[in-house]
Structure formats: structure tokens, C-alpha cells
Chains A and B, each alone.
Chain A
Amino acid sequence: MSAVTSVLLAGVGGQGVLLASEVLAEAAALAGSDVKKSEVHGMAQRGGSVVSHLRFGPVVHSPLIPRGGADYLVSFERLETLRYLEYLHRDSVVLVNTQEILPLPVSVGKARYPADVEERLRATGARCVFIDGHGLALAAGNAKAVNAVILGALSSILRFAPDVWAEALRRQVPARVLDVNLKAFALGAGAAAAGPVR
């Protein structure tokens, strides 16, 4: 692994992918790294695929992760994970929220949602962690806190100091939902620590 750590966050518009990558960028900066984060706006509210590239380390040049360059692939939706397989390398870790959100071609019956996402992921040989982000967010008290659950899960793999995560969440998440998000974060951290790997 190079001195730069690359995290690819993928999901569907409306899931909070961009806010989660914002929190992660903040955490990496608080941990003392150079940080670059790149994403494309516009699909966020409209159900399109959303992806955010986040890189941190002593010096980061490209805001985009090269192919075969993602140390972590963090996927907010089961199917979306497969879209970014070419970013994985031998030592990548894949964190998958098992939630399914049907793309329009599937919901109108023009395409099928792949039934074998987990098998295809395991076949790559990458280390995979699966979590039920939606269920844990509901358990924390708000279905919209899926992104905090996923960050919590990531925190048990990508280790910054706990107070760094808490501070990053405090800076990025609106105060009125901070408590729910901190709870969701803790549930995610617990689930990933205990969850099935590989």
C-alpha cells in the first residue's frame, strides 16, 4: 500500500454518500493528513448513482483514485458495489451495506437486479464486510442515519482515534440529529467488528 490511503464511497442519490464522505474527509484532516475528495453533484436528490473519491496521506496529488487503487470500497447499496470492482486491488477491503434500492430500469421491469452480488464480490478475493445499514439505522431511531451506520462500520476497519470521528461528525452533522447519528455510528462500529469477514 502506498503512503496515500484511497477510499471510494458509492451509493444512490439520497443515501447521504456525500455527507459521509465529508465526515470522512474531516476526520482525515483532523488526523493530520493532506486530504483530497472529489465527487459529482446533481444526481444527489434524483436517485442516480453517486460516487465519491477520498484520498489522504502526507501529500495527495490526484483527486481521483486510479483503477486498482482503492484501499477501501465503501458501498451504501448492494448492487452499486459491483460498479466499482475495477478500483479494487489485492489488499482492498470492501464494506457493503446490504440494502437494495431498485434502479428505474429494474422497477419498470426492463432489467434484473443481480441476485449474486455477494458471490461475485467474494469471488474477487477481496476482504468483504457486510452490514445491514438500513436495519441498524432504524434501530438507532432514524432510517436516514444509514450513512452514520456505515461510517461507524468503517471506523472499526479504518482506524482513526475515536475522538477524531466524534469531532468530525459534530462538525458536519446538523445538531438536531447529532445524537441519532452518534448512536447509529456506534451500532455500525459494533456490527462491523462482529460481522462476517470474507
Chain B
Amino acid sequence: MTTVALLSGNEAIARGAWEAGVDFATGYAGTPSTEILEVLATLPGPRCQWSVNEKVALEVGAGASWAGARVLVTMKHVGVNVAADPLFTLSYTGVRGGLVLVTADDPQQFSSQNEQDNRNYARFAKVPMLEPADSQEARDFTLRAFALSEEHDTPVMLRTVTRLSHAKGRVSFGERVASPVEKRFVREPEKLVMVPAHGIRRHRVVEERTRRLAELAETTDLTREIAGEEGQPGIIAAGVAYQYAREAFPKASFLKLGMTWPLPRRRIEAFAARHRRVIVVEELDPFIEEQVRSWGIAVEGAAARSLVGELNPTLVAEAWGGESSPALAACPADLPGRPPVLCPGCPHRGIFSLLKARRVVVSGDIGCYTLAALPPLAALDTCLCMGASLGVAHGVERALPPSERRQVVAVIGDSTFFHSGLTPLVDLVYNRAHTLTIVLDNRTTAMTGRQQHPGTGRTLAGETTPEISIAALGRAMGIPDVVETDAYDLPGLAGALDRLLAAPGPALLVNRGPCVLLTRKPHGAVLRVDETKCDGCRRCIVVACPALSLTGEGREARAVVDAALCTGCGVCAAHCDRAAFVAAGEGGR
């Protein structure tokens, strides 16, 4: 039975995995990959769970696969960096049940700290890479990836990008088929225990497997040719870049690669031989181009385009002389930007103005609170990767003279803390660092859409589970000063901050305030500004609340509250020394 629906790339990957009889799925939330597990978790059959991070997810996935389960592991591109350690050796051990690792890359950095091209991981780890070009292929290729994984005893990577994960298209799909693999653990130490003597033998197996996969690439229908008109260029492309190229070159011939590692050398040679002009259209790195050139094939490629940012049909047309339509007007250069900001009522806005006032170095991390780096809050000094705030703060402290050591704090969210904050906290306690670690505990993984984590007391499936206490973990590590604060109690928070900044040893402050998007309930009465008291000092404006703005110029300037956005949290009022903020109902208005 076939059904047709409009599905996003992520929904289609979940659907393909489900139809393949996937038994187990795990990963860590990260845009643009998050919805894959969330959608799969709503379908009957597979066990789906969030892991604390991508390395753990892949390790759990490896165990499940070795015991016979078909396994899907999902993450965003930077998550593969975290999972790289098990990935490279999993390539040696191979699998039993099919294991598909989804990497959701983010060209253009819509919500990421870099825009790395994870096709490089497939070559580096010596595992096959499939690249679907639309939602239909996302479903089809996922289904195929499980069989490929079992046939060739290898994890298979499936790469999507933001423009595929979050694009919708028509998909026809079928029913679930049970996994053909028997669920039992088979003792095979020479394959699964990667001590050097076993590993060196497995490396030979991997090289032989790559040779077989390269042969498969020559014949697989995952790769196909689309004939164009005589005299038109021949274009080699994969993934969403293929779609842009078809738009820009409607009459060209295409070699559309479904598997981008290993590449089909003979097919590419034959295709290139039939065209006077051969173009490789790909996003980010010249991954295909460099390999093809290494075989002595002359192609046009990255020299014509930027290596930065995502492609689109216009950029492809401009780079290689394709078809484009004239634009009626240019975008004005003088428009004010519209950066995203912390939500109105966000409990973790207040602490940033307190930190700023204390002029400490604030080592930040990955999550909503990274938005505090943008003006006017401008309260973060560093942000490297998930969990790095603690290690970076520790390192800054190591370099500073002793008199300034206490002036460094690490700020990290609760989900990020469980992801990779534990080990650097152990490290700084062990090494007698002084760093103050502040966990902004909003009881969820807010930035990616409010996923559960080990501190929330709920699993992905909605089951109750022990709530792991971050404060208790800190005490168990031997941190002498562990304080829990209420994020909205700014005087209390200020007092705790001052005490901990003066304390001699490492300290942990868990600032508790649930994400406003969890309950969507107002905190108190909506506020308004009493214009007779406001003198336009702008102290409230600096907290960067979307509900606050200024009207009037110079000395006439006054703060205004947008009643539709205000949640009554009172953080702005706490910054006002003229008591100009009053409940909207009061004062006869």
C-alpha cells in the first residue's frame, strides 16, 4: 500500500527508518536534525530515546546493533565531532543490525557555530555516505541505507542539510517491514574488541570493504543520469545542490550522485568523456571536485563560487553562467536588522545584566543563552562548542595573574551541562581551579524546541524517570560552595553571585527558572510604564526584552511596554531605580 503526503526531509527520514523496521533510535537534539527522533517516537514499534550527547548515542547504538537491532542515530553536523571517537572504530568493528548515522549539516549557519561539511567524515572514517536530494529520496535512501549497512557490515552515514531537513515535499511511502536480523548478541571478540592486534586486521577488512563499496557505487541506482540537450554542460551534483543546478541549468545533463563516498570513478570518467564542459556543483567544500581532479579529469568547480554559505539557484547560475531571471529591485542596504532575542519573560535574562555589572569574564556555551552575546545585552565573552564554557573559563583563569582569577565565570544551560559539562567540571575541581560555574537551569532543552533531558524527570517517550540533581552532582564532586537560586529573585541572585565570586574554591550556582515556553503562563500582572516617573535612562532597555521599547527623542525618551508581549516577570522593573514600572491595571489606565 502506498500513501502520499507532504513531508519534511526529517519526517521522511523517520518514515524511511520506520519502514525499514528500525528497532532502536537515539541521538541528541540539534537543529536541523531534531525532528527525526521526535517524529519516529510517535510511530509504533521502535524504542526511541534522547542520549545525553552524540558520543553516547553512537555507543548505545553500536551496542544495540551488535545485539541485532536495526539502529538509527541522529545528530547535527557538530554532533558528529562529539561522536567521532566511537565512529572511527565502529567503522572497523562493523555492525550486525543495520546502523544508520544521520548527520544534519547546516550550510549558512542558520543555527550553528560553524558550517563544516560532514562528507569529509565519511571519507575520513571510511564509511559510505548517502546524500538524498529531496523528501522522497530522504525516505528512500534511509530505507536502503539499512540494507547497505548489513550487506557490507558497516555503519552508513546519511547526510542532510537544513534545506532538506526543513523543506517539505511530496513523498510516497509504504508499510513497516520487520527487521530481518535476529536479536541476540554473538560473541566475536576479534571483531568487537578493538585491541591493537584485532584492530590492525580489521583495518585490512575496512580497506577491502571500501574497494567493494566503490564497485557498488559504479552500478547502484542511488546514482542516476538525467540526459540533457546536445551541447549543454554535463553537471555532477548531489543532494540539494543538484536541485539548485537543475533550476539554473534546465537543459544540461546530470550525473546525480546518491552515494558521495566512495565515488564511482568509471561512471564519472564516462560521463566527463561525453561532455565538453563538466561542472561539479556542490555546497561548502570541493569534496567531489578534488577527488575527480585527482583522477586527471578537468572540471569546473569551486573556483567560481564561494566556499562560505549555502548555495541557491541564483548563486549556481551566477557562478557557472546558468539561467536566471532579472530582479525588479535590489534589497535596500539601510534596513534595521532583526536579530533573535531571549523570549519576553525569559528567567535567564536577569543574570546577564548582573554579570555585566560585575565586569567578570563570561565564558558562554551553546543554547538560547548564547543570544545574550548580542547587543544590547552583549554579556558573553566566549562561545566555542557544547560544554566548552567550563574548560575555557578554567583555561582563562590559568593564564590570568592570581589577583584576577576570581573574575572568570562559566555559564551553561542544564541540557548542555548533561551533554558535556560534567567532565570539565570534574577537571576543574580536580585541578583546584577557582572557576564559578553557573548553570542556567530552565528545565528543558529550549533552543531546539523543548526536549527532555536527564534533569527533567521525563524521557523522550514521556515516561517518568529519576530527575538528576545538578546541585547534588556538584556536591558529590566535592565542590564546597553549591547554591541554588531563583532566577527571578534578582536581589537574592546578586547576593549569591557576590558571595561566590569572593569564595576561594570552585563554586557552582544553579540558577533555577523554567523556560517561559514550557507553561506559557504569565508570571504576574502585565506591566506598564508610568511616564511621570520614567526619565528615559535606558537601564531597563539594556535587558533586551522584546516587550520593551523607547519612544521619543533625547530627554523626552520614555520606555514603553507592549502589553501583548509582557509576561509580568519584573526583570525590567528590577533595573529601574525610579519605580516607573507599575501593574498595567493600576493608576487609572
**Shortest Cβ distance from A76 into chain B, in angstroms?**
12
Q: How many A-B residue pairs have C-beta atoms within 8 angstroms? Tell me.
A: 180
**Shortest Cβ distance from B570 into chain A, in angstroms?**
19
**Shortest Cβ distance from A84 into chain B, in angstroms?**
7
Known A-B contacts A25-B168, A42-B31; the reply to A64 vs B343 at CB < 8 A is no
Instruction: Report whether A42 and B243 are in contact in the complex, using a CB–CB cutoff of 8 Å.
Output: no
Instruction: Report whether A111 and B336 are in contact in the complex, using a CB–CB cutoff of 8 Å.
Output: yes
The 3 closest A-B CB pairs, nearest first, are A107-B549, A48-B340, A111-B336
Chain B residues with CB under 8 A of A120: 332
Interface hits, B124-147 → A, CB 8 Å: 134
B331 adjacent to chain A (CB < 8 Å): yes
B447 adjacent to chain A (CB < 8 Å): yes
Q: Mark A87-113, 1 if CB is under 8 A from B, else 0.
A: 111101000000000111111111111
Known A-B contacts A34-B170, A62-B247, A62-B313; the reply to A67 vs B327 at CB < 8 A is yes
Q: Which of A35, A83, A86, A90 contacts B335 (CB 8 A)?
A: A83
B459 adjacent to chain A (CB < 8 Å): no
Interface residues of A, count at CB 8 A = 59
Cα–Cα, bound, A26→B168 (Å) = 10
Instruction: Report whether A47 and B331 are in contact in the complex, using a CB–CB cutoff of 8 Å.
Output: no
Chain A residues with CB under 8 A of B342: 46
Q: Which of A64, A67, A82 contacts B332 (CB 8 A)?
A: A82
A85 adjacent to chain B (CB < 8 Å): yes
Interface hits, B64-118 → A, CB 8 Å: 110-111
Chain B residues with CB under 8 A of A82: 331-332, 335
B541 adjacent to chain A (CB < 8 Å): yes
Chain A residues with CB under 8 A of B32: 41
Instruction: Report whether B341 and A62 are in contact in the complex, using a CB–CB cutoff of 8 Å.
Output: no
Q: Which of B168, B325, B330 contacts A89 (CB 8 A)?
A: B325
**30 A-B residue contacts at CB 8 Å?**
A13-B340, A29-B170, A37-B6, A38-B167, A40-B162, A45-B343, A62-B247, A67-B327, A68-B314, A68-B325, A68-B328, A69-B313, A69-B325, A80-B338, A85-B329, A85-B330, A86-B329, A88-B328, A88-B329, A89-B325, A89-B327, A90-B328, A103-B338, A104-B339, A106-B336, A107-B549, A108-B549, A113-B336, A114-B335, A114-B336
Cα–Cα, bound, A25→B166 (Å) = 13
Chain B residues with CB under 8 A of A102: 549
Interface hits, A31-61 → B, CB 8 Å: 34-43, 45-49, 60-61
B312 adjacent to chain A (CB < 8 Å): yes
Chain A residues with CB under 8 A of B244: 61-62, 64
Is the contact region of chain A dominated by helix, strand, or loop, or is it mixed?
loop
Cα–Cα, bound, A42→B448 (Å) = 7
Known: A68-B325, A104-B341, A110-B375. 5 other contacts (CB 8 A): A35-B168, A62-B243, A104-B376, A108-B542, A110-B376
Instruction: Report whether B326 and A104 are in contact in the complex, using a CB–CB cutoff of 8 Å.
Output: no
Cα–Cα, bound, A89→B329 (Å) = 8
Instruction: Report whether A109 and B328 are in contact in the complex, using a CB–CB cutoff of 8 Å.
Output: no
Q: Mark B334-367, 1 if CB is under 8 A from A, else 0.
A: 1111111111000000000000000000000000
